[in-house]
Structure 1
Amino acid sequence: MGQQEQVATSLAGAVSEEISASLAPVDAELRRRYPGDPGTRQPVHTVYVPGDAFAADTLRSWGDQALAALDEHAPDAASFAAVLGLPEELAEPVHSRVRAKLEREPVEDLRVDFEDGYGPRPDAEEDATAARAARLIAEAHRDGTAAPYMGIRMKCMEAAVRDRGIRTLDIFLTGLMAAGGLPEGLVLTLPKVTYAEQVTAFVRLLEAFEKAHGLDAGRLGFEIQIETSQAILATDGTATVARMIQAAEGRATGLHYGTFDYSACLGVSAAHQASDHPAADHAKAVMQVAAAGTGVRVSDGSTNVLPVGPAAKVHDAWRLHYGLTRRALARAYYQGWDMHPGHLPTRYAAVFAFYREGLEQAAARLTRYANRAGGDVMDEPATAKALSGYLLRGLDCGALDMAEVARLTGLTRADLENFATPRRGDLTASAQ
């Protein structure tokens, strides 16, 4: 033992107390505005199906069509890997897991669309379609065939379609209540938001429904779709999307980028409207910064290039979709849109490859951190949070198994969750 150090201070305890008292409002504001990630599963994609096309067998039909596309255009692991450029060691694990996913859970998140994908219809027709959507979703939850997340995209809050959107939402939610109550995993999407006041109005609408049915305040959350330039930059130069998150009063669950509406709003020609356009990158970067720490998650958009036709065209579309999905994952956009059943094989291939190729490195780094073993990288609590979040997302979607993660790390899922949701102060302290 070395010589015991003499510890001396110069400040009275009252100084610290005064500083803490002066910062109490800031502390409260940080807790309110930046609660952190909710720690729940985030779907890897959202599938949009027009209201009139949604049926009891839609989820299974999408899975069957995706499997048929694989059988026709990449019937084995080697051919699928050759199309996508997968390394040999990932070919079989990815291919087998993609097929298993399509058989077990082909769609993670489904939105019955009453906006662009549905269009203007006679009121009586949209009324009936909304009621039917509620009945089918309630039945899917009762018989165990529902996707983990399901809901609707209503028409927006602009004057021309506002009343129609409100009525459709009311019919849908009322139908769910009559069928047994709001199911877990219910998601509502508000499209084409341009002003924070529209978000506030939607909050008031949800409050009114909750009060009408005696629901807990805040039971209904929603996603905000970013499809206009005004949603990113306001006339005063501030980030509108940040205001929208606050205007949601804790109800916002996601920000979804609308590739084609946003691109068109900026004058991007149709041939260049894509999720990797510089305009798209700027919008999503602003969304990402605005949402960081708030518990609101960011979703990428979609590609409109469909994998249909002869094998060469399907393979080209698959490579495009796979590349865009991998690009999004590297930029921390862990969710996107899929527009066609043929997109499912490459969605899951990209997601599974992303998590499997990084599994051993992430597991090793997290293990060294957990055991304070050091290594060639000096990781901190924030990095441990990212590493555990990576593994948890891989587990949630089926890319990884808990048994292999436990074998590599010696950690349980509860351990991973503890690292993924640390106390706020832990993130500002360096690893010891």
Structure 2
Amino acid sequence: MTDLDALVGDLDRRLAEADAVLATRYPGDRGVRQPVHTVYVPGDQYDAGTVGAWAAEAKAALAAHAGSAAELASAVPALHEQVYERVIAKLDAEPIEDLRIDFEDGYGTRSDEEEDAAAVAAARALASTVKDGSAPPFHGLRIKSLEAPSRRRGVRTLDLFVGELASAGALTSGFVITLAKVTSVEQIAAMVVVLEAVERAHPVPKLGFEIQVETPQSILGPDGVALIPLMIAAGAGRVTGLHYGTYDYSASLGVAAAYQSMEHPVADHAKDVMQLAAAGTGVLISDGSTNVLPVGDREAVHAAWRLHARLVRRSLERGIYQGWDMHPAQLPTRYAATYSFYREGLASAAARLRAYTGGGDSGYLDEPATATALAAYVLRAAECGAATQEEINKLTGLDKVALAKLAKRPI
């Protein structure tokens, strides 16, 4: 008979390095809530009243162009019957889940004096909302890239912004930094150096950042190597997300303006690579935006809403649970499409979880990996407001702790 102890001991030695790499690079779910969207506001246009103003404009658009569930359903054909009132409640309670104050393309190139002033003013305004409880749960800034022409400016804005938040005692776990136009693995390693320097200058907890994937150089290296896995590794545990940049990326590949879209094949390829690279790492994926805004007369608004809702739903079906919103009137369809996605699948997901945990027959023979996905699905539904945790507990027969264990989330 085989000496099992000796054999397994030999295997442990042979696979020790591979085991260590797997544990380090693929730690799994971080156990954090992922926002359903990121709202971008130019740095010089943001103030303490911005979130309230976006909520008011979103509700005004809804009242003007879809004053009832039936009217909204004409613009969002897949609207679930229980969604309309939930959307209104969301716009009242938490209109923006993730806010990014933009000092990159949305802000442009200004004099150093002007950007310094804007960065300080925006940080102070954000700090005031953190203090009074009106800040979105996730919030932060996008800085200019670490390319040579914008390197100094991007670092200076980050330093000023973090310094202001730190001095106000307003740097929370929801603070997010987005690094734009990444073109090399070396820039990610350099960003780690930047954050270490900022942390020394302003005693703050360890800072993380998102990589904005909007250049072909961030997808494929000159030697044909996929670079995003190397970027995540170079981030030394600080990379928290990968955000797809629809228009810069499409334009870089020569796609004509009329055809630049979140659903163009080049966009799908980039996001497929992002998903593959991030799987198991705890790094979150976000889709980009549509630049077709819901403005104008009722017909124009409904057309833009139909497009936006369809694109949001498309991302969700592909396992991308976050996207960008660029206009207040996109908030109703962001939440309508997201809530409909979760509401229509909630009963089935709950039944399958009940059956998996020994509570009956759902008609499915689900494997552990599928049970993990089902548990993550219902937890996401509660986190964004599509369902209450109490409702999910009742439907599944499982409490939040049991669902987190099934979803393989740290508790």
Into which bin does the TM-score normalised by the smaller protein fall? over 0.9
* Number of the residue aligned with 2:336: 349
Equivalent AA in structure 2 for residue 256 of structure 1: H
Distance 1:133 1:117 in 2: 14
Indicate yes or no: 2:400 matched with 1:417.
no
Distance 1:12 1:320 in 2: 60
Indicate yes or no: 2:202 matched with 1:210.
no
Indicate yes or no: 2:137 matched with 1:148.
yes
* Number of the residue aligned with 1:291: 278
* Number of the residue aligned with 1:39: 31
Distance 2:202 2:117 in 1: 22
* Number of the residue aligned with 2:17: 25
1:15, CA displacement in angstroms?
Answer: 1.4
How many residues align structurally?
410
Aligned to 1:10, what secondary structure does the other structure show?
coil
Distance 1:147 1:40 in 2: 15
* Number of the residue aligned with 1:138: 127
Q: 1:172 to 1:314 in 2, by over 3 A?
A: same
Equivalent AA in structure 2 for residue 329 of structure 1: L
Indicate yes or no: 2:119 matched with 1:127.
no
Alignment map for 1:125-204 (pairs within 5 Å)? 125-204=114-193
1:375, CA displacement in angstroms?
Answer: 4.5
- Same amino acid, percent of matched pairs: 56
Aligned to 1:112, what secondary structure does the other structure show?
strand
Equivalent AA in structure 2 for residue 148 of structure 1: P
* Number of the residue aligned with 1:97: 86
Distance 1:348 1:214 in 2: 37
1:212, CA displacement in angstroms?
Answer: 2.8
* Number of the residue aligned with 1:221: 208
Structure 1 residues 255-277: Cα deviation after superposition (integer angstroms, max 9, x where no partner): 00000000000000000000000
Distance 1:155 1:375 in 2: 51
1:373, CA displacement in angstroms?
Answer: 4.7
Distance 1:317 1:162 in 2: 36
1:21, CA displacement in angstroms?
Answer: 2.2
Distance 1:190 1:368 in 2: 44
Indicate yes or no: 2:66 matched with 1:74.
yes
1:422, CA displacement in angstroms?
Answer: 6.5
Distance 2:362 2:135 in 1: 45
* Number of the residue aligned with 1:275: 262
Structure 1 or 2, whichever has the larger Rg, is 1
Please list every run of 5 or more consecutive structure 1 residues that lacks an aligned counterpart in the other structure. Answer: 1-8, 424-432
Structure 1 residues 9-62: Cα deviation after superposition (integer angstroms, max 9, x where no partner): 533421111211221221111110000111110000000000010011100110
Structure 1 residues 395-415: Cα deviation after superposition (integer angstroms, max 9, x where no partner): 000001112211111110111
Could you tell me which of 71, 79, 98 is aligned with 1:109?
Answer: 98
Indicate yes or no: 2:383 matched with 1:396.
yes
Q: 1:342 to 1:215 in 2, by over 3 A?
A: closer
* Number of the residue aligned with 2:49: 57
Greater CA deviation, 126-135 or 348-357? 126-135
* Number of the residue aligned with 1:16: 8
Q: TM-score, normalised by structure 1?
A: 0.93
* Number of the residue aligned with 1:376: 363
Structure 1 residues 132-158: Cα deviation after superposition (integer angstroms, max 9, x where no partner): 111111111110101000000011001
Q: Contact between 2:166 and 2:204, CA under 8 Å: does it hold in 1?
A: no
Query: Using CA pairs below 8 Å that are at least 6 residues apart, which structure has the higher relative contact order?
Result: 2
Aligned to 1:358, what secondary structure does the other structure show?
helix
What RMSD, in angstroms, separates the aligned Cα atoms of the two structures?
1.3
Equivalent AA in structure 2 for residue 261 of structure 1: D
Q: TM-score, normalised by structure 2?
A: 0.97
Q: Contact between 2:342 and 2:386, CA under 8 Å: does it hold in 1?
A: yes
Moved over 2 A (4+): 9-12, 211-216, 372-376
Distance 1:215 1:104 in 2: 29
Distance 1:36 1:12 in 2: 30
Q: Contact between 1:220 and 1:251, CA under 8 Å: does it hold in 2?
A: yes
Aligned to 1:225, what secondary structure does the other structure show?
strand
Equivalent AA in structure 1 for residue 2 of structure 2: S
1:374, CA displacement in angstroms?
Answer: 5.3
Distance 2:361 2:24 in 1: 35
* Number of the residue aligned with 2:251: 264
Q: Contact between 1:256 and 1:299, CA under 8 Å: does it hold in 2?
A: yes
* Number of the residue aligned with 1:314: 301
Aligned to 2:230, what secondary structure does the other structure show?
helix
Equivalent AA in structure 2 for residue 176 of structure 1: L
Q: Contact between 2:90 and 2:385, CA under 8 Å: does it hold in 1?
A: yes
Distance 2:325 2:404 in 1: 29
Indicate yes or no: 2:373 matched with 1:386.
yes
Distance 1:332 1:16 in 2: 37
Indicate yes or no: 2:72 matched with 1:83.
no
1:181, CA displacement in angstroms?
Answer: 4.8
Equivalent AA in structure 2 for residue 299 of structure 1: S
